[in-house]
Each structure stands twice: as structure tokens, then as C-alpha cells.
Structure 1
């Protein structure tokens, strides 16, 4: 972790210096804002944490509740989400308090007595094999707390405006007299405090609807939730129990003659969540939602026979019917028009599904991550407004894939024993499809932010359009082994990784020619798009990875573009020069592990950690052309 950048720091280094609107943030919700976020759920709070890194953007978050969420319903945290937490600076802390899913066990009817259940298989959880990050269970409220802290400690000092609800909006046509600089006219109402019941209007440049499955923002822009509810109901409860069931602290899929349970241990060592199959729903009046907790507990005991649950406390419970819905479009942009979108939908406002695949909060956060840097880039003038159209284009296909996956997973979970021919089928499906629920299968199609795969062979382990998969390397400055991707913070900057050709630092090479072009050419993205007077790495974080062991690299021989002097003190950054060669502490070689050409390569990574391009070191013209289509000259 780097700090002292602006001078000596002895307080919490996670609290960044306030800047821009964060220097004198008004307590009262302003009449005019750049970005208005409606809802403080996972997508909304990640979005606020990201936009806090853009202190010149006036961002406010309104939430109808009068304070923080106390009891969250989502709890599954996939490895991609933990990777995202790393970028926001709190992965280690949340991992420490979460439950780490190491195994998933499967139970089925005992052939000797089918009224009883027995363990049929035990599998390692997919998180161990797919990513260096774990698969966790932690209360949604804690996730929101950490994002709230990141937003409040960012330069923009963003905190939610609680007790303010959204009631409607009007988008005025751009260029009209009514539109002005803030074309979205938003109606809000105070729900708490001395002003409860008071209504007022706020003008915004952009609005993000992060307000859940019953989204008023979605309704206001005329978008439709397409899909329906299946005729199958589940009870869900968070409980503290005494039991003789031996796998109480292991995630389990349980299939019995009496029904099915998805059992998930929770953080804290005692609490567990259970999804209990209540069977087919006989009517469409939703009477099943009135099922009392006593009936749900009794059903759980029937399914677990011969084991029993003595429920000592119920922290929360609910009954729901499985629904699968995707909104027809994730923004207000009319098809066939050139107008940029002004209103966006995220999370449950644009996709809903069952909770059993553990995807809702995770996919919602990635919605917010995708949208946040794009809004920040457009409002600050770094990128054209056309960039915002890529949000719906990229995230809507992901939501549809989620719905398709969840529909199949839910159907498998709800089967009767006589419908299962292979007891290992569910376990095999769980492991065989692991990349999708873990959050690593998303792949964005070519667009203004994602290049063509013309040179993909130069770095086959970094597929263009997929998230940048980290690997261990060594700092040249001190030899410490670090994960390369873990040094990419969610600060809105692009990452450009230059993988060197064979010559060492200071010798003539393709890398040296590329570095000279990057630092001095008028076509270089560094010189073309970095604002006048800003730090050299304010927009682009440029790093180099040499093939040699760190002992064989002279850091002072590395081109200056990898050793920028930044900040008010003009301090040289020592942590942009890496080595891939094996050492006493690092046995991996990122060139081998990620299929990187020994002739070198350039890997461009978006602010949301997705690979945007792979190019040869000599392809400076292609690199320049890519950013000219994505960014605006300073």
C-alpha cells in the first residue's frame, strides 16, 4: 500500500485527502448534481465509492430508509466480488470476518431406507481452483458498510442522503431550453426527520436507478421487467440451532423424499442460512408467502430426517416464489437515436432471479463497477458521452446469461429423488459450471472500450473482454512477491502493462522504443489525454514486467515512463517496475502462466479490471487509435 504521496502520513492511510467537492461538501442535498444515485444497495454503494474517486463530479446518493441497512438478505460473495473488494481496499478485512466456503457436500436418500438421508459426495469449493480469492458468506449490510466507508474516505467524501425517496423524473430533450445543463428533473420526497413529507425537485445530468426489483426509476423511464414467476416456492431462514446434522458448518445441497434444502453456513461460527423447498404452488394468489416460520422449520426437519434441528433463534425468514426477469433495456436511450443515455438501471432494478445461485448482489456490484468509471470519465470530460451507451450493451447480455444459468440451477435443485438418475449429477454441474457463478465468465464484445482480438496470441492468458487475471511477480525495488492485479485500485485509471522483450533494463529493445514513444510522442495517450498540470499517471497507470529475475534488473535503467515523479513533492514511484523471473520467493513466471510472448506485449486494462486490448510493442499506432476512439484530448 502506497501513501506519504502528499507528505508524511501518520493517520489511517485509507482516508485519502479530500479534493474538489469533497473539500466543502454541503450537508443539504443540492438543487443541481452531476450524478444522482437512487438507492444505497450493492450497486448504488459501489457506484458511490467509485465516483468518490472523481472529486470534480458532484455525486449524491438518496435512500428512502432513515439509516444504514441493518439486516441484509443477500449473503453469497463470489471470488470476482472479493477481487473487486481488493480494488476498493477492503478485501482482507471483509475476508477476516466472513465465512469461507471450503467444501460443498451433497446428500440424498439412503438406499437402505429412503426416508433417511446420507452424504453422497464431498467436493472442494470452486473458489480454490479458479481464483486466488475465496468464495465467502457475509451479511450484505457489512458489504454496504465497507463501500460506504470507501465512498466517505475517497477524495469526493460521498455519504448517502438518508430519508429521501425518489418519486419520479422527467428527461428533457438535450439542447432544449428546459434541459439546460441538467436535463433530468427528479422529484423527491423526505421520509424522515423534521422535513418528512416535504417534496422538492433536484436537477441532474445523469441518474442511476439502483432502487431494487420494484424500481420506481425503471417505471419512470418506461422500461419493462420481462419474465415471470415459476410455480415453485421456497422458504429461507437465517437461524441459530442445536442439531445432530454433521455437516451443519459445511455448505450442502440436500435432496430427500420430503423435499430439498440448500444449506449455507454463515459468518460468526453459529448462524446458518437454509433454503427449504416448499414444493409446487397450487394457485397464483401468492398465499404461500404467508407460510409461518413454524411450518418452514417443520419442513426442514422432515427433509433432514433422521437428523433434527432445534431452532434456538430466527434472525430472519421469508418465503418467495422463484422468478426470472430481465428488463428490456438498462437505460433510457431510444433505439435508433444518437442521443446518449441519461438514466441507467442497475442490479435488481434490471434483473431478478432466485437467491440460490448466490448471484444477485455479485452481478449488481459488477453493474455498478461497469457504470461508475464511465460516468466519471464522461462528466469530467475525459471521454465522449457515447461511452455511456456501452453500459447497457455490455451488461444486458450478462444479465440474460445469469437468468439462464439460475433457471437451470433452480430446476436441478428442485427435482424429486425419482427424477435423479445419477446422484453425482448436481455435484458435477456445480463444479463443471464453476467459472460462471464465480464471476469470471463475463466477456465483453468489441466496442469503443474493448478492442478486436487481432493480436490475442501475444497474451493468450489475458482474453480481451474478460477480467484481468492476476499472477504473482516480484517488485524490482525490493524483491517482494506481489500479485500484479492487486495493485490496480478502483481509482478510475486505465492500466497499461508493458511486458518486456528479452533485453534487460537499459539496453536497446522494443520496450525501450515503446517507452520513448509513450513519454514523448504527441500521439501517445499519456501526452494526449493527461490533463495539463496533472500527475503523469493521473489517467494512465503504466507498468513494466521484465522477463529476468528481480536481481538481474537495474531499476534505474528502466525507462522514466515507469518511474514517474508525481505529487506535490515530485517523488519517484518505485512500484511500477516488476520482474517475472523465478526467485527464492516466487516460482511462477507470468510470461509462462499467462501465455505472453517472449517478444513482449502490451496489455491494456480498463478501470473496471477488464482487458481492453492486447498489442505488440511496435503497434503504437494501434494503441493511439484505440484511445482516440475512447477518450477526449485534454
Structure 2
């Protein structure tokens, strides 16, 4: 974490100085806003947290509840989400309070006595070492709390506006605030009174029954699997030995349980198989009582017993897989003629089973994808056409998620005798581990993703996939660090310059690149507003092939040591050497002749280029930047 560059900070450095719309932020919801977010679930809160980093953008998030969420239904935090939390600054703290999944145990009927279950296999949760971040279990409410803290500490001093329910919207296409939104006060002295707000953009993060989705004419299409599950978060006494280990349990009676230990050392969640739902059920299965769910769990666990002492939460649901065909308000015949004004995210776009732990995780990535794009457009960094990439990118990802979840939930509902291979369930879990961990997202070529013409220069940084971190050593203070962990969710593009073999200061391609990016009129840095720090829009880092002891930071080009803050202090923390124990050039297949890796603000690799391809780099960024330099910030 860097601070003091604006003067001495004696308090919590996570609290950024108020700026822009955060100075004297009105407590009451204004009549006009840049972005109105409806719903304070994971997708909405992450979108708001990202937009809170843009001081010039007025963003408000409304929630029909009267206050913060006390207990949430989602709890699985995949490694990609923890990676995202790192960018927002709270990964270490949430890891400390969460339950960490390291192994999964598989239980099946005992061949000698099918009425009993026995442990048949264990597997590592991340057998291939996909990420340095762990797979966690922590209540959704705590995730929202952390994002609320990020918003409150941001320059815009954001906080949710509770007690306001979305009723309707109308897009006029006219004026600076073309979306008219009608809200209803649900709490406080104004309860029952309608309120009208005008916005430039609206984000519907209001769940599976989204009214924002309805207002733009989208519907969830799909099917139900006609299979019901009871889910309960409980405190219990049991002789089941793996009660504190994630388990997939299949019984001789055909019933199944997915056991998820929870944070705190005592609480755990069970997804309990309630069986097939008759076509004429008419919702009767949803009346299954907690006593019936516990009884079914005991039957599946035989010969072990479960004595439930306290129920924190429980519900019954039928597996359903549904998806909208678009994630914004632009109809198919309007594409290319206008840009979107209304977006939907999370469960408003895609619904599926909870057992793969994907709902909250994929929803947050929806918000991460959309948030920085709205910020760039509203601050004048990028054209409005950027916003059309949100639906194009995320709808494909949601379709992949539903296809995966259909296979996983079908396997979980199978009876043991229906498997062709006794180890089919655990084999699927291991084989597909990268997908539920959140790392199979792969965006195709677009204005944001270059064609893979030079992919061979960086085989470990796949264009369109997330930037996979690796160890390096920071030269200025000799600290070993993870390179990707210093990419904060501040809305900046990252340009990682992996140097050729020459030492810093010697004539070389990396020295020529540094001169170009610092001074050339077609460099993306030339778009940086006058008066702003040189790295305000682009974070340019250099990684040399030598270890830190062989590098003289005084000879490193000035492009990699920008002056920042009102005192024009030198930032030395953008210069790295290789870690002798884990050479990033070897780990990520980087060409020894040097390579430039461009990474989007949401951590996805956008381009890979040789050091000499400055014209290609300029051409890539040209459609994404203002035609003329903005006025002084």
C-alpha cells in the first residue's frame, strides 16, 4: 500500500481523501445521478465499490431493505473472487475470518452393507495449483460489509440508500439524464411515498425476480430439473467424522448431501437431496419443514447421526437453469445504432443451482466487468461504445456457467448405481476444477481484446483470460511480492513491460520502449489529463530478467519511475527483478527478447506485443481513448 505522497497520513491509510462528488456528499438521494444501481447484493455492491473510485461520477445504490443484510444465502468464495478482493484491499482480512477449503471427501454406500456410508476418496480442492489464493466459505453478508467499507473509504464516500424499492423506469433517449426511474420508499417516515430520480445509466442488480429486467423487456428462459433440495445452516452435534470437511455424500437409499463447513469453527451447511418433484407438485415441496430436512439428512448419513441444536437459516429450492439473451436494454435490431442505458447483472441475468458455489462469484465478476467501463465513459476516458462490450462478454460466460452447472447438479442428483464409473463424481470435480475456481473465463477478440497475433511471446498470459500472478522481487526495497497483487481496483490499465536481457540503463529495446511511452504523441500516456499524475490512467511497470542485486535503480528509465502527488515524489515501486526461486519469465513462458503485456482494469489480459510494436500498441488504445486531451483535472 502506498500513501504519504499527498502529505503525512497519521490515520488509517485505507481511508482515501474525499474528492469530487465525495466532498459534501448529500445524505439524501439526489434528483439526478450518473449511475443508479438497484440492489445491494454482491453484483451491485462490487459495481458500486468500483465506481466509488471515480471522484467525478455521481453513483448511488438503492436497496428496498431498511438496512444491511444480516444473513445471506450465498457463502462459497472461489479463488478468482479472493483475487478480486485483493484488488479491493480486503483479501487478507476476509481470509482470516473465513473457512478455508483444502480437501474434499467423497462418501458412498459401503459395498459390504449399502445401508451404511463409507469414505471412498479424498481429493485436494485445488490439485493443480490453479491459484495462490484459497477457496473460502464466508457469509455473503460479510462480503457486502467489506464492499460497503471500500465505498465509505473511497474518494466519493459512497453508502447504500436503504429503504427504496424500484418500481419502474423509462428511457427517453433525450437530455443528459435520459433514464427516469420511479422508486418507492419502503421504510422510515416517507414509507409509501414514490420518488422519481433521473439517471444517465441504471444497473439492475435486483435478483432473480428483477423488476429492472422486466422493465427492459428481458425474460429468463430455461428449464427446471424437477429435483428439490433442502438447504440448512445449522449448529449440531454429530459423530460423522468429516463434519468439518467439505463432502459429497451419496447414500444407498439414493439420497445425497453436499456438506459445506462454515466460518467460525462450528456452523455448517448441508444441501440435502429431497428427490424428484412430481409434475403436479404445484409448489408443495417448498413446504418441506426443517424437521423433515433434518430427518432426511439423518437417513442419508446412516450409520452416523445428526442432532441439530440450532438452525441459523434454511430453505427449499428446485434446481433451475435460466438465462437472458441480453444483459442490457439494446434490442437485437438496435445493435450498432445506439449504446445501452440500462444493464442487468447477477441473478437478474442468470440463475442455476447453488451447489457449484458460482452464483455470488459470477455475479461479482459481472459487476467488475461493468463498473470500470461505466467509470471510464462517464469520466471521458473512453467512448460510449465501450459499454456495448458488457453484454457481449458476460452473456457468453453465463451460458458457460449454466452448461457446467447442469452437468454438476445432474451428477450430484444421481444414485450410486447410475454411475458408469464409481469415481465419476470425484473425477469430474478434479477435471473441471479450473472452471468453478473462476479461471476459465476467456473473452474473445473485441475493441478490448486483441487478436492473439503475438501470443507465443507470453504463453502463460493468455489473451482474454485473467492475468495470472507470479513472484517477483521489488528492486527498491528488495521485497519478494506477487506481481498481480499490486493491481488495485482503481480503474487503471496495467502495462507490464518484461525487459530484454540487457541491464537497466544499457541501450536496448526496453529503453527505446520507455522513451516512446513517456514522450511519443501516440503513446497512450499522452491522453492523461494535464495536471494529473503521469500514472493516473496507466500503471506502467517493468520486470527485468536479472535479480534485484544486479540492477541499479538509478539507471532505470524515468518512464518506470513516475513523479506523483503534489510534491512530485518519485514512485520507485514499479521496478522489479526476477525471483531466483521462481523466475517469472520461465513460469509464464515469456520471450527473452522482451514482451509487453496489457491488462484491463478488471485484470484480464487485453494484448501481448513485442517491445518494438509501439505502433500496434498505439493503435490498440486509440479507439479506447479521448480524441482530444481532456481539460485539466
Q: How does 1:440-519 map to 2 (within 5 A)?
A: 440-519=439-518
Q: Is residue 2:553 matched to residue 1:555?
A: yes
1:176 aligned partner: none
1:75–1:140 Cα contact (<8 Å) kept: yes
Residues 175-204 of structure 1, C-alpha deviation per residue, up to 9 Å, x if partnerless?
Answer: xxxx21000000001000000011021000
2:242 aligned partner: 247
Q: How does 1:95-106 map to 2 (within 5 A)?
A: 95-106=95-106
Q: Is residue 2:189 matched to residue 1:194?
A: yes
Distance 2:448 2:15 in 1: 31
Distance 1:35 1:514 in 2: 38
Equivalent position SS for 1:322 = strand
2:445–2:451 Cα contact (<8 Å) kept: yes
Equivalent position SS for 1:482 = strand
2:471–2:579 Cα contact (<8 Å) kept: no
1:622 aligned partner: 616
* Shift of residue 216, structure 1, vs aligned partner: 0.3
Equivalent residues, number: 624
Q: Is residue 2:229 matched to residue 1:234?
A: yes
1:108–1:423 Cα contact (<8 Å) kept: no
Residues 6-52 of structure 1, C-alpha deviation per residue, up to 9 Å, x if partnerless?
Answer: 11111111111111000110011000000000000001000111001
2:603 aligned partner: 609
Distance 1:420 1:251 in 2: 21
* Shift of residue 126, structure 1, vs aligned partner: 1.6
2:127–2:430 Cα contact (<8 Å) kept: no
2:540–2:574 Cα contact (<8 Å) kept: yes
- Higher mean C-alpha deviation, range 237-246 or range 227-236: 227-236
Distance 2:186 2:281 in 1: 33
Distance 1:299 1:517 in 2: 68
Distance 1:208 1:613 in 2: 29
1:285 aligned partner: 282
Distance 1:116 1:127 in 2: 29
1:147 aligned partner: 147
Distance 2:230 2:327 in 1: 30
* Shift of residue 128, structure 1, vs aligned partner: 6.9
1:152–1:158 Cα contact (<8 Å) kept: yes
2:540 aligned partner: 542
Match of 1:330 among 306, 318, 327: 327
1:563–1:572 Cα contact (<8 Å) kept: yes
Equivalent position SS for 1:62 = strand
Equivalent position SS for 1:235 = strand
Residues 478-509 of structure 1, C-alpha deviation per residue, up to 9 Å, x if partnerless?
Answer: 11100000000000000000000011110000
1:573 aligned partner: 571
Q: How does 1:81-92 map to 2 (within 5 A)?
A: 81-92=81-92
Residues 81-121 of structure 1, C-alpha deviation per residue, up to 9 Å, x if partnerless?
Answer: 00000000000000000000010000000011100000010
Residues 128-174 of structure 1, C-alpha deviation per residue, up to 9 Å, x if partnerless?
Answer: 7210000000000000000010011111111000001110000012x
* Shift of residue 335, structure 1, vs aligned partner: 1.9
- Higher mean C-alpha deviation, range 281-290 or range 258-267: 281-290
2:167–2:184 Cα contact (<8 Å) kept: yes
* Shift of residue 424, structure 1, vs aligned partner: 1.4
Residues 303-352 of structure 1, C-alpha deviation per residue, up to 9 Å, x if partnerless?
Answer: 00000000010100000000000012100012243200000000000000
Equivalent position SS for 1:129 = coil
1:206 aligned partner: 201
Distance 2:245 2:80 in 1: 21
Unaligned runs of 5+ in 1: 174-178
- What's the TM-score once normalised by structure 2's chain length? 0.98
Match of 2:268 among 245, 265, 272: 272
Distance 2:579 2:199 in 1: 51
Distance 1:284 1:382 in 2: 54
Equivalent position SS for 2:592 = coil
Q: Is residue 2:587 matched to residue 1:593?
A: yes
Distance 2:496 2:606 in 1: 11
Distance 1:356 1:631 in 2: 42
* Shift of residue 581, structure 1, vs aligned partner: 4.9
* Shift of residue 228, structure 1, vs aligned partner: 2.2
1:127–1:135 Cα contact (<8 Å) kept: no
Q: Is residue 2:215 matched to residue 1:225?
A: no
Distance 1:532 1:496 in 2: 20
1:72 aligned partner: 72
